[in-house]
Structure 1
């Protein structure tokens, strides 16, 4: 049997919602509020950055890549005055588990199998150059199956995110430009990106002009033919470089992972917290198929 970069993309569409529930579930907002974090973004930046320790805004802006440094600086390092990284990690995991359980993800055999297989892959994925993945991999593994599933999904999504950042850097696309390119490719609505990544008109225009100078956007901000080919190349390269994260799994195990993880993802989506439009550009049109389709 053979694996293709499409395999990595289809797996991303399955494990990312298990992790992404963290950012949208009311359990998470409540948990960070109880720590004393002020507002959604202090919880987001503090919770996601907690594996790195008490880092400041510049480190997080560099690693998260597509956020404005000023946006991050309004949350960090102030968050650590309210609660340290260890407390943020506990709150994040417990809230994620509570949200997954509310969606119907329980300690049954399928969840245990998916957690074990996803964890096997996540623990053995390539480490080089992947700082956020490495920081999360250094954390203790949870014992409880739903928590293990969430932790494994977290490792793999940060692994893919680190990979995507490396691809963007190698091709000369800055973090702020990458959001504009993503919106132009209809991967996520522009108004969603403008709100969630905090652009004003001047910055959006400046990023668009830089992409136009690269031949990727036309004067109206739409993708050129070269822009469409370039965006697809970025996604294809990310998929190809992410496929090695599953080298630890045999073909039989990969088939079993698809079969057990896909229904879990359907349950998370059905819970209604993860919106259809997210900055991650998740696709749902394939979630009725729980086969790996290895040739």
Structure 2
């Protein structure tokens, strides 16, 4: 006699939805179309386009604000991009470039499904969740929330995915802060917990050996490491951060009924799979390894 499957919790559902929304959102960072749009707008290099696109809803902010909100980047990296980016193109152009490029990328990945009724329905449900999610304490999400909602279903789906991603991310940063884990420490904590190679962070997050060792030593002093593994205390803390992140993210879906949430998951699965199959998104991002959702990435 088979055992009944466990009933998913609100936290389980929030994590499942994040994993499905993340590939849809992440085309803005990795697909060629958004990168082309940022270059056309005038931004120089990948990182200037990245910081300009994500920070644009905040207006002409400088490095201190972006570094604080994005949480896990080296300050030197941030300060090379902003506020200099606004001298090449204002925030309004960054906003236009990222939506235009992301929609082009999604349209390529989804093919005929980009204009089907199921995609429009997914956009409708996702946007209802995104617009109803609580704003308090979530500055980056609130900035994105203040933007006009696109009318085209595919653009609306990308916008909703972005809102829900930043809503979850703001909650994750709050969980890290409450746990006493600084942004750069979070990378090391996750790498040790999950086995992500250190080299990934050297290239993507500007870690040199000296800083990595310093962050590792700081975690060890807090009792979170034992040799090359998390201590029991470290495992509990990591699990608590993830659980808090899921719990805070789940509040975005309170506006949907259980049936609507199930429908949204069903509609998103083939869309997210199609984006991943296209191959634009690195495997770690496609699987949801990302600070703004759960761990320590874009």
TM-score tier, shorter chain, comes to over 0.9
Q: Deviations over 1:184-232 (max 9, x none)?
A: 111643211221111111110110011001111123x422222122211
**Structure 1 residues 280 and 199, CA, compared in 2 at 3 Å: closer, same or farther?**
farther
Matches within 5 A, 1:270-289: 270-278=277-285, 281-282=288-289
Structure 2: runs of 5 or more not aligned: 1-6, 291-298
Q: Which residue of 202, 211, 218 corresponds with 1:203?
A: 211
* Distance (Å, rounded) in 2 between the aligned partners of 1:103 and 1:2: 30
Q: Deviations over 1:220-265 (max 9, x none)?
A: x422222122211111111111111100001111111011111110
Q: Structure 1 runs of 4+ off > 6 angstroms?
A: none
TM-score, L = length of structure 2: 0.91
* Distance (Å, rounded) in 2 between the aligned partners of 1:212 and 1:247: 39
The answer to whether residue 244 in structure 2 is matched with residue 237 in structure 1 is yes
Q: Which residue of 1 aligns with 2:221?
A: 213
Matches within 5 A, 1:33-112: 33-104=39-110, 105-112=113-120
Q: Which residue of 1 aligns with 2:3?
A: none
* Distance (Å, rounded) in 2 between the aligned partners of 1:218 and 1:46: 39
Structure ranking higher in helix proportion: 2
Structure 1: runs of 5 or more not aligned: 284-295
Q: Which residue of 135, 153, 156 corresponds with 1:145?
A: 153
CA RMSD of aligned residues (A): 1.6
**Structure 1 residues 210 and 281, CA, compared in 2 at 3 Å: closer, same or farther?**
farther
Q: Deviations over 1:43-86 (max 9, x none)?
A: 00011100000000110000000001111001011100000000
Q: Which residue of 125, 129, 143 corresponds with 1:121?
A: 129
TM-superposed deviation, 1:281: 4.1
* Distance (Å, rounded) in 1 between the aligned partners of 2:206 and 2:286: 13
**Structure 1 residues 28 and 82, CA, compared in 2 at 3 Å: closer, same or farther?**
same
Q: Which residue of 1 aligns with 2:295?
A: none
Size of the aligned set, in residue pairs, is 282
Q: Deviations over 1:153-202 (max 9, x none)?
A: 00000000000000000111000000111111116432112211111111
